[in-house]
Amino acid sequence: MRVVITGGAGFIGHRLAQALLAKGSLVDQSGQRRDIKELVIFDQAEPTLPLNDPRVQVQLGDMTQKQALSAALGGNVDTIFHLAGVVSGGAEADLQLGLAVNLDGTRLLLDLAADTGRKPKLIFASSLAVYGGPQATLVDDNTVPTPMSSYGVQKLCSEYLIGDYDRRGLIDGRALRFPTIAVRPGKANLANSSFISSVIREPVAGRATVCPVPDDLPIALMSPGRLIDAIIKVHDLPSADFGWPRSLVLPAVQVTVAEMLDALEALRGKAVRDLVTFEPSSRIIPMVKSWPAQVASERAARLGIKTDSGAREIVEDYLASVAG
């Protein structure tokens, strides 16, 4: 089968590609388990971490380029993991760029997928940014989306489109509302949540970092390892089991920066923890306080999706990834 990962050169895309190659097979749109013969990484730039596997192809382009995107799908695509997008801070800073990539690009992808006539599976990386305001402090399956950012609006609109294309029988669409994913390797990006990875990633690398929020501010997190498990599990479910709506809240564990640093100290020592200092930001703190601090999903639990046990598991997931 042919599998495409948009945004596949990014961190989550790379972790997903590694997991898929190791797994070797997926359940296709007809319900049959099949070997992955082709894994297409679609992104604007070459992956910085190459995947040395004959099944892997790299197609360069972005979500606004019809010809490049069409070539990536190849007319015989079975599964699309749609991870590409402008992150939260970037979409807020440049409205038109966010709309072009996150919304118009998703619609272009849907049309091209529908045009294959194969009803491919499409797993979409949505976000808890579809929620916002004081009514969204606690999010569960029944919480009404009330996005308070351009990024959240673009993700929610894309979810609705995916649901409609699915309803029409054009694709088998499934949107997952990601919580903040930590710890991410590499340099900090424009995501407003990037500090939560920096407070672990930087001291582990021996670098000092400044945290812009108080250490007791609660944040809903999921480790990359748990996220990848959830993505693949949702992909392989029968469509009827995934159910309606075609959007699913992924569960998260509530932690504080202090709990993350406690785990870091227990695993790497006090000297590493002391590389983190605090300088409260009047811009970042209100934004973080507007995010859901508690996330629960009975529906995800029924589907067998689990989240992390706590801050220590999240830090251990990162340390294992950099050790490997």
**Do 183 and 318 contact (CB within 8 A), yes or no?**
yes
Q: Which domain holds residue 266?
A: 194-220+253-293+308-323
**Are 62 and 97 within one domain?**
yes
All residue ranges of the chain with pLDDT < 50 are none
Q: Tell me which residue of 84, 12, 7, 54 sits closest to 232, measured CA to CA.
A: 12
**Are 117 and 23 within one domain?**
yes
**Do 73 and 116 contact (CB within 8 A), yes or no?**
yes
Question: Which pLDDT value is given to residue 291?
Answer: 80
**Are 39 and 147 within one domain?**
yes
Which residues, listed in sequence order, are joined to residue 80 by a DSSP beta bridge? 4, 122
**Are 133 and 227 within one domain?**
yes
**Are 313 and 244 within one domain?**
no
Question: Which pLDDT value is given to residue 201?
Answer: 95
Q: Is residue 189 part of a domain?
A: no
Question: Which pLDDT value is given to residue 188?
Answer: 62
**Are 201 and 82 within one domain?**
no
**Are 168 and 239 within one domain?**
yes
For residue 234, the SS3 value is helix
Q: Is residue 303 part of a domain?
A: no
How many domains does the chain fold into?
2
**Are 164 and 285 within one domain?**
no
**Do 296 and 250 contact (CB within 8 A), yes or no?**
no
Q: Is residue 163 part of a domain?
A: yes
Average pLDDT, the chain: 94
Question: Which pLDDT value is given to residue 272?
Answer: 97
Measure the CA–CA gap between 259 and 34, rounded to whole angstroms.
Answer: 42
Measure the CA–CA gap between 294 and 17, rounded to whole angstroms.
Answer: 29
Question: Which pLDDT value is given to residue 283?
Answer: 83
100-120: b or e for each residue (b if 16 or more CB lie within 10 Å)? bbbbbbbebbbebbbebebbb
Question: Which pLDDT value is given to residue 83?
Answer: 98
192-228: b or e for each residue (b if 16 or more CB lie within 10 Å)? bbbbbbbbbbbbbeeeebebbbeeebbbbbbbbbbbb
Q: Tell me which residue of 207, 215, 198 sits closest to 262, measured CA to CA.
A: 215
**Are 228 and 258 within one domain?**
no
**Are 169 and 107 within one domain?**
yes
Q: What pTM was computed for the model? A: 0.93
Residue 212: alpha-carbon gap to chain centroid: 23
The residues annotated with a catalytic role in the active site are: 151
**Are 240 and 116 within one domain?**
yes
